[in-house]
Amino acid sequence: MDLHPFAAATAPALVWAVHTGWLSRRLAAARRDPLTGLLTRAGWTARAERLLRRYPGTATVLLIDLDGFKGINDTHGHAAGDLALTAAAERLGAWSSRQGLAGRLGGDEFVALVHDTDDNRLADLHRALHEPVLYLGTPLPLAASIGVCHVADLDRPVLADALAVADARMYEIKGRHRR
């Protein structure tokens, strides 16, 4: 039995399968933030669009910006800042995992889309994002401004519109913190 023709016929398929698997893993890694493990902006947006189409009447979009993050970095160093980012990401990810998804837009800005949430769950997230982070035995204050948009309140269920409303509300809250 001559295996050469069989090997010649199957080798390209095998190479293609290995290459496709490698590309799939690279794409998945590119859609995850390397520091926090959350979805990147592109990865989050693609999945959020699908989730929003599935739950347009019950979806809520949140835009989160850490308060005082620059002070943590400037006072305690970038390792402390990274710890604050990862702690916020873990808390947001745990809070949103059952009913949605979370992502890191960049810097100290995060985003989430969840469905079937209520004021009590939003208060839970607020509390979680305001718990200190322990760094080298020192508790560092963690705080966040959270802008919320209930998609059902919009004229049309469009992610870009929901993000714009959540962003405006987040900056309103951030402005109140500065006074």
16-20, 35-39, 165-169: range with lowest mean pLDDT: 16-20
User: Residue 15 and residue 20: Cα distance in Å, rounded?
Assistant: 9
Q: What is the pLDDT of residue 175?
A: 84
User: Residue 85 and residue 153: Cα distance in Å, rounded?
Assistant: 31
- H and E: helices and strands count for the chain: 6, 6
User: Helices 41-54 and 159-178: crossing angle, nearest 10°?
Assistant: 120
Q: Is the model's pLDDT at 174 over the cut of 50?
A: yes
pLDDT single digits (tens) 107-159: 999 999 999 899 999 999 999 999 999 999 999 999 999 999 999 999 999 99
- 32 phi and psi, to 5 degrees? -120, 135
Q: Which residues contact 115 (CB under 8 A, 6 or more apart)?
A: 51, 54, 55, 58, 59, 60, 99, 100
Name the token pair of 11.
Answer: 């080798």
